A = this chain, B = another copy of it.
């Protein structure tokens, strides 16, 4: 029998999936997805905010570690760009939900908040890579770094949806995503 995943983590993962699609979903929904009782959920998490914080932490850590590893492994901007896309796709919902949380209109992004500074540290690796590409003249003239950043998250979203819908072969998803992204922004 496969090793049972830690219940707390299982609930957190379920919450990430649920809250990403429906931020105000009742905790009952999260519990169902995690295959536990709502009562059990409350044993691990004081309240909704506590659970949210755990989600946040998991997402930060997952993104930080994946993006960080790519950044450390590759030094050429182009290689970094490609593998950061793959890393983001691997992080999947964790990537897009974290991004959503820090970029919605109600969120006040402040450097004092540890969550925000952690987020910045990770995503600045993404942004600076794009700027490096621009400085090297590898980006199609006219396209701005801001657009490319938006496009990246859009393509990651596409990859996640393709994965969920199951109508694009799993091995192809990353290949297609990189093809569309690279052709779509590089000279």
Instruction: Point out residues on A near B: beta carbons under 8 Å.
Output: 21-26, 103-105, 140, 142-144, 146-147, 150-151, 153-159, 161-162, 164-165, 167-168, 172-173, 175-176, 179-181, 183-185
A123 shortest CB reach to chain B, Å: 14
Copies of this protein chain in the complex: 2
B151 touches A155 (CB 8 A): yes
CA distance A142 to B149 in the complex (A): 26
Residues A162 and B179 in contact, CB atoms below 8 Å apart:
no
Q: How far is the CB of A25 from chain B (nearest CB, A)?
A: 5
**B162 to A147, Cβ gap below 8 A?**
yes
Cα separation A183 to B180 with both chains bound (whole Å): 7
> In the docked arrangement, what's the CA distance between A157 and B156, Å?
11
Q: Of all chain B residues, which has the CB nearest A104?
A: B21
Is there an interface contact between A179 and B168, defined as CB atoms closer than 8 Å? no
Q: Are A24 and B26 in contact (CB under 8 A)?
A: yes
Question: In the assembled complex, which residues on chain B have CB atoms less than 8 Å from the CB atom of A146?
Answer: 162, 165, 167-168
CB pair A140 B179 closer than 8 Å: yes
Give chain B nearest CB distance to A157 CB in angstroms: 5
Q: Which residues of B have CB within 8 Å of A26?
A: 24
Min CB distance A187 to B, Å, is 10
Task: Give which listed residue, B144, B173, B184, contacts A172 with CB less than 8 A.
Answer: B144
What are 5 sample pairs from A and B whose C-beta atoms fall under 8 A apart? Answer: A21-B23, A146-B165, A146-B167, A147-B176, A154-B155
- Ranked nearest first, the 10 interchain pairs of A and B with the lowest CB-CB distance are A154-B158, A184-B184, A180-B184, A24-B24, A154-B154, A150-B158, A146-B167, A22-B23, A147-B176, A150-B162
Q: Which residues of B contact A181 (CB under 8 A)?
A: 184
- A140 closest partner in B (C-beta): B179
